[in-house]
Amino acid sequence: MHRSWTKDRRGVEGFFEEILAFIVVVIAVGAFITSAYSSFLAHERQNALSSLSDDCYTFSRALRSFDPIVERGVVFQEPLPGRLDSQKLDGLNMSVLRNGLGTPHHLNLSFTDRVLGTVWVLGDKPPAGPVQRAVVTAPVLISWPDGRRDPGSIEVVMWD
């Protein structure tokens, strides 16, 4: 008996339909598991970035009080946190920083005098592209030999 294809119900509600439905469900579940796993990895990376940001902030706080670069009091020669001596910044290098404020991360540091525009840059070149990095700036004063204290900033860029 010949039936037109529009009336042929075989394969629509039978075994072949279930195979097709099963394939669709498998694809959907696979896509969901993949996206859920990639989302989990992204949040793990976010946790790592949060930890890196904490390290960067701690480092910037320590840098503001780093003995070899801060100005000293006139009478008691005590270190003055947040007041950086321009002459000491001229002689600063990464080995002094790493020995004094050891950190396992890569670093790029910028000390900027906001009035004169003088910039001291130290450390590794920041990576190009979407690499996870923490950037923290901190306010400081830059002291000059003539007694001026200019507002400035420290910028710490940290990455793994």
Partner 1 sequence: MRLWQRRKGVSALFDALLFFIIVSVACAALIFSAWRLPVTGGISQSDMGSRTSDIMACALEATVGPVNYSAGGQDMQFSGTALGAIQMILGVQSSFQEWNTSGLEGAVSGVLGSLVERPYHFVLDGRLVGRPGGIFISDAPGELSGMSAGRWSCSVPLDVDGIECQLSLYIWR
Q: How far is the CB of 132 from partner 1 (least distance, A)?
A: 5
Q: Is 13 in the site for partner 1 (CB under 8 A)?
A: yes
Cα separation, 118 vs 89, whole angstroms: 11
Residues 84-113 contacting partner 1, CB under 8 A: none
Residues 128-157 contacting partner 1, CB under 8 A: 130-141, 147-153
Q: How far is the CB of 5 from partner 1 (least distance, A)?
A: 16
Residues 33-92 contacting partner 1, CB under 8 A: 34-36, 38-39, 42-43, 45-46, 49-50, 52-54, 56-57, 61, 64, 82-83
Main-chain dihedrals φ then ψ at residue 20, nearest 5 degrees: -60, -45
Q: Is 27 in the site for partner 1 (CB under 8 A)?
A: yes
Going by DSSP bridges, is the β-strand pair 79-85/133-143 parallel, antiparallel, or unpaired?
parallel
120-159 burial, b for 16+ CB within 10 Å, e for fewer? beebeeeeeeeeebbebebebbbbeeeeeebebebbbbbb
Residue with tokens 């394939």: 23
Which residues, including other chains, have CB under 8 Å from residue 142's CB and lie 6 or more apart? Answer: 84, 86, 89, 111, 113, 118, 149, 150, 151, 152
Q: How far is the CB of 68 from partner 1 (least distance, A)?
A: 20
Binding range to partner 1, per CB under 8 A, among 22-30, 85-93, 100-108: 22-30
Q: Are 160 and 132 in contact (CB under 8 A)?
A: yes
Q: Is 122 in the site for partner 1 (CB under 8 A)?
A: no
Cα separation, 157 vs 138, whole angstroms: 12
Chain contacts with partner 1 (rule: CB under 8 A): 12-13, 17-18, 20-22, 24-25, 27-29, 31-32, 34-36, 38-39, 42-43, 45-46, 49-50, 52-54, 56-57, 61, 64, 82-83, 114-115, 130-141, 147-153
